[in-house]
Amino acid sequence: MNRASELSAIIEQKREAYISLSNALWEKAETAFQEHQSAELICRVLEEEGFSVERGVAGLQTGFTGSYGNGHPVVAILGEFDALPGLSQLPGLARPEEAESGGNGHGCGHNLLGTGSLAAAVAVKEYMERTGLQGTVRYYGCPAEESGSGKAYMVRDGLFQDVDIALSWHPYIASVVQNLSSLANYAVKFKFYGKSAHAAAAPHLGRSALDAVELMNVGVNYLREHMPQDARVHYAVTNTGGSSANVVQAYAEVSYLIRSPRQQQVVELYSRVHDVAAGAALMTGTRMETEFEGAAANLIPNRRLAEVMDTSLSAIGVPVYDDADWQYAEEIRATLSQEDLLAALYGMDMQTALKVRSKAIADVIVPLNPAEPVMPGSTDVADVSWIVPTAQCMTTCWALGTALHSWQVVAQGTMPIAHKGMLQAAKVIAGTAIAAMEDPQIIAAAKAEHAERLQGQSYMSLIPDGWLPPQTS
């Protein structure tokens, strides 16, 4: 039996247990830094499987590590388990219907991500036991990827200093190894303090915090013309100061997410956005404060490690889909726009796009991209990639065209398509880990490439000095 077949068999033996865990995480749907039950579910499985678990790492109440083995090489496998607010959805439907009014939902598939990574770590452990392979496999329970960047706190506290390589994955609409960069980001809340007054009888006595928020937003929108081309700025007004039009709003706040291809660009752009906010406060006679919410670096790709993972993906192949899978995927696809479908094909090579464009499920492997595009999103996996060579894959867990952070993702999160993609990813990660642990030249080459890409640059944490993760229990 070859390595891929052996690892697949190890994972398949516990298939139902992993599906059950993934579904349990889907049910919990806990958001950033609130994932107490979800984290504990994974910790218990790690302990049952013989891992040494350390909870509350890096000051993160829901962050943890689970280690097995001793010495080098040390392979880190990254897991996430946070959900998104406001995406509650009943499972298995092809129409939007909340399970709980205003509730949370796993709109990015992190119930699958956390479980698939766990399955990979357990498979590596069992392979080590069977073969006597030396080294350490370590599962990182990483909270708040969506909003808070838990991995950035872990990196800041040195949790990856002894790691040789790091591996991760993400649910997606296709199976592919990521060989790209990402946008660094900085998330911050701007709080404006004014003075309330009767809006009709004494408007001159009021100082509107809501006016300050609106003026800030207008100013930042003008700033967009003068930002780097690949930069992105998004905002959400999180507190309007009340619902009465006859009261001058004494308090209001807006949350901003600032992105750019390089960390230094983000720092510079944040300074300009901050100046706009200060100007809005000056214009309205209000006082402005900021509150840090999260930050992530730009991703450092590693071609050598990506090639090893691509070989593992090819060896595992794609899952087999039955008639029920295809039928449900068709139902989901019918809820998507033509723009959604075109966007799904945009990142593929022409040959693959032509193969799958009329299908509801992308049942192929997308070739490794010879270029290294910049992903327009962000991830705190990037912070890890500055410290250690890192590789990630994506596997088909949803119908082709499904957009991230949508009700369609939540609806498909407990369906067989999702479970098949989750276990496929586990096998790919386990295969990549074992290949690197058995061949020191792979790790040496990945490290040499990593050093060459950094060109002497050091990691710069965007977390403010002394800032601690939120405490939620």
pLDDT in tens, 33-58: 999 999 999 999 999 999 999 999 99
CA distances from 205 to 216, 245, 297, 320 (A): 21, 16, 44, 69
Which tokens sit at 190?
């701007």
Whether 375 and 300 have beta carbons less than 8 Å apart is answered as: no
For residue 35, how far is the Cα from the chain centroid? 15
- Rounded CA-CA distance 223/213 in Å is 15
68 forms beta bridges with 137
Choose among 379, 380, 406, 410: nearest CA to 29.
410
**Sign of torsion, CA 212 213 216 218?**
negative
SS (H, E, C) 363-421: CCECCCCCCCCEECCCCCHHHHHHHCCEEEEEEECCCCCCCCCCHHHHHHCCCHHHHHH
Whether 188 and 276 have beta carbons less than 8 Å apart is answered as: no
Which tokens sit at 344?
């799904």
Q: What is the DSSP string of 268-301?
A: HHHHHHHHHHHHHHHHHT-EEEEEEEEEE-----
All residues at 6 or more sequence positions from 291 whose CB lies less than 8 Å from its CB, including other chains: 188, 189, 191
pLDDT given at position 1: 67
- Rounded CA-CA distance 48/14 in Å is 13
Query: What's the CA angle centered on 422, arms 417 and 424, to 5 degrees?
Result: 95
Domains present along the chain, CATH in parentheses: 3-181+300-454 (3.40.630.10), 184-296 (3.30.70.360)
**Which stretches within 132-262 are classed as H helix?**
150-156, 209-223
pLDDT given at position 463: 93
Letter for the amino acid at 331? E
- Rounded CA-CA distance 446/301 in Å is 10
Give pLDDT < 70 ranges for the chain: 1
pLDDT given at position 433: 98
pLDDT in tens, 85-144: 999 999 999 999 999 999 999 999 999 999 999 999 999 999 999 999 999 999 999 999
- Rounded CA-CA distance 445/251 in Å is 55
The overall pTM is greater than 0.85: yes
